[in-house]
Amino acid sequence: MWMAYEEFFEFLKNTIGFAYGLYYKVPNVELETGLVRVSNAKELYYMFDVANVYGWLEMYVDHHDMKLSQYLKAADTTIMDGVVAK
């Protein structure tokens, strides 16, 4: 059973001290065009599905409340369509 988003985010904050955001990189895509923000349970479970399908996943934690909107707009998740449950 997976944990709720809030529980997972609290786990991260307690483990690393503090966190402003959680992200993952679309597999086989450059970071500049593949960064995806995770901000709710549905997105968290999708991220876990991506990791399960690809066998790995690069996760990133924002420690400084950085403005990453230019990268988030560019994220193309269509590479995962059809292979990851939504």
pLDDT in tens, 16-28: 877 777 888 888 8
Whether the pLDDT of residue 69 is over 60: the answer is yes
Instruction: Give pLDDT, residue 45.
Output: 87
Answer whether 0.85 is exceeded by the pTM: no
Mean pLDDT of 52-80: 74
Q: Where do we find the tokens 């876990």?
A: 48
Whether the pLDDT of residue 60 is over 70: the answer is yes
Q: What are the C-alpha distances in Å from 8 to residues 2, 41, 42, 50, 68? A: 9, 9, 13, 17, 21
Whether the pLDDT of residue 6 is over 80: the answer is yes
Instruction: Give pLDDT, residue 10.
Output: 81
